[in-house]
Structure 1
Amino acid sequence: MSGEPIHAELIAVPVAVTGARPRVLTLFDGSALPAGPLESGHRSLQAGLRNWAERLTGHPLGYVEQLYTFADPARSRTGRSISISYLALTAETRTPLGGRVSWQDWYRYFPWEDRREKIATIETAIKPGLDHWSAGSDEHRARASLCFGLDGAAWNEDLVLARYELLYEAGLVREAARDGRPAHGAFAPGAIMTADHRRILATAISRLRAKIKYRPIVFELMPENFTLLDLQRCIEAIAGHTLHKQNFRRLIESQKLLEETGSLASGSGRPAKLFRYRPEILAERAHAGTRLTLARS
């Protein structure tokens, strides 16, 4: 309809990795991402995003990059709603957060994405619904196999958004039922979020998983000094699968990403060397960087 109001919203997906768990900063006990309207006083989209996210959460954002613009006509019942989303990489602090602001494990929303331990989530809780949805359709079955690594297809960790959207199309997530789509089986496990915030989170995870392979963006999630095991655990947390320890270390050494600090990590057991990113690598982190192939264990 011509003349319908258009609302522009800025949405942040603040991500940290704490204790080998990927975490996302949320509102309302985990059901929403920090968001607010674009205002005329904002000097830029990113400035507006930082203003809203930091005002709502009390937590400063670190590295920020634009993620995606969502403008589907059905996003709002009160006019056209455009959401400009941003991925923000930061560190989780010990400072108490106010109100209903909380850090949540992102696998709370997508439990099938964490393949570091052998779990049967896909076979037992997702595949039956996909089989029902794809019955009689070779196209549907091929898409399900590609997305979820079924029928001999390889698992691709980057397809987080594709998997979520396939489940939505098949009516196997609660957001689909909320939007009036018919279900083809029991809902897949995972916490629901308001509006399309779980879709936006899936977009952010897909982006970050793909990006750590060809840009040194993981630097933004690490402390200044760290052990090689710390770095490996951080990458495994994001990718959702384990890495072969020796292959990983040979790769890091060959890429010349790090330098020793000359210090050792404190703690029980044999002290591990502390490393930091080489200054020239940090200086280049805003540009396309070193490819980090994720060699699985």
Structure 2
Amino acid sequence: MSDSAVSPPHLEICVVVFTLQESRLKVLLIPSKDPIFADMWMLPAAPVLDCALEKAAARQIEQLTGVGEVYLEQLYTYGDPGRHPTCRLISIVYFALIPADSLLPAAEQKSGSHWFALEELPRLAMDHADILAYALRRLRYKLEYTAVGFELLPEFFTLSELQHTYELILGEKLDKRNFRRRILEAGIIEATPHRRSGEGRPALLYRYRPDAVAEVKARRLFP
């Protein structure tokens, strides 16, 4: 019988953190410190401490990004006996969404973490590529029936920025006229008195209605 079969399992909190930077959807990764996974990257993880699981996940994200309040949701628990070659590792995974304008670069530099675009990922250790793929599927699914996409936006945004956010997450182009009609009919955003200057006519700024119902009809915002 192997040592891993009789030793108690190792429990950890693992986080999948998404943000939008440079018109790309990115995920936060850290370099592996395990010699077994040399020259590979991992999703951030930390041992389970004597506190609530969600609080432990939020604390880990704050240490890595400097952001104390984020959208956070439990994703799944991974505990296949063969996912780590030397021990029984059980990962309780959360995924989080952070607007890019909330990030503190100094926190990332201190932790050694780095934001990678999903189309330019390095080699990932263990089953972290599968975990990341599942988190992205969950995010895309939730985008269809909740207002979760607003968690990646600043407080004020244009309709073009909102559509671009949805397109980056879904990985597909959306019809401009149809998207705007549906998002306005959903009643979850409201116009503000502000406009953003740029090329051409200044664009009206919107914000998510704090009193809006988070749940919307499935696929209501899509063709």
For residue 95 of structure 1, what is the aligned residue in structure 2? 105
CA separation of 1:251 and 1:294: change in aligned 2, threshold 3 A = closer
Choose which of 59, 68, 77 in structure 2 pairs with 1:69.
77
TM-score, length of structure 2 as denominator length: 0.85
Q: What is the distance in 1 between the residues matched to 2:191 and 2:221?
A: 22
Instruction: Give the drift of 1:85.
Output: 0.5
Is 1:108–2:39 an aligned residue pair?
Answer: no
Choose which of 203, 208, 218 in structure 2 pairs with 1:277.
208
CA separation of 1:235 and 1:58: change in aligned 2, threshold 3 A = closer
Is 1:240–2:171 an aligned residue pair?
Answer: yes
Unaligned runs of 5+ in 1: 110-190
Q: What is the distance in 1 between the residues matched to 2:58 and 2:189?
A: 31
CA separation of 1:228 and 1:107: change in aligned 2, threshold 3 A = same
For residue 42 of structure 2, what is the aligned residue in structure 1? 32
The structure with higher relative contact order (CA 8 Å, sep 6+) is 2
RMSD over equivalenced CA pairs, Å: 2.1
Identity over aligned pairs, percent: 37
| DSSP 3-state at the match of 1:98 | helix
Deviations 1:64-102 (A, max 9, x none): 000010011101233321111001011223634215311
Unaligned runs of 5+ in 2: 33-39
For residue 161 of structure 1, what is the aligned residue in structure 2? none
Largest Rg, 1 or 2: 1
Instruction: Give the drift of 1:277.
Output: 1.5
Is 1:228–2:156 an aligned residue pair?
Answer: no
> Larger % of strand: which?
2
Q: Report if aligned partners of 1:38, 1:45 keep a CA contact under 8 Å in 2.
A: yes
Q: What is the distance in 2 between the residues matched to 1:54 and 1:277?
A: 24
CA separation of 1:290 and 1:264: change in aligned 2, threshold 3 A = farther
Instruction: Give the drift of 1:290.
Output: 4.6
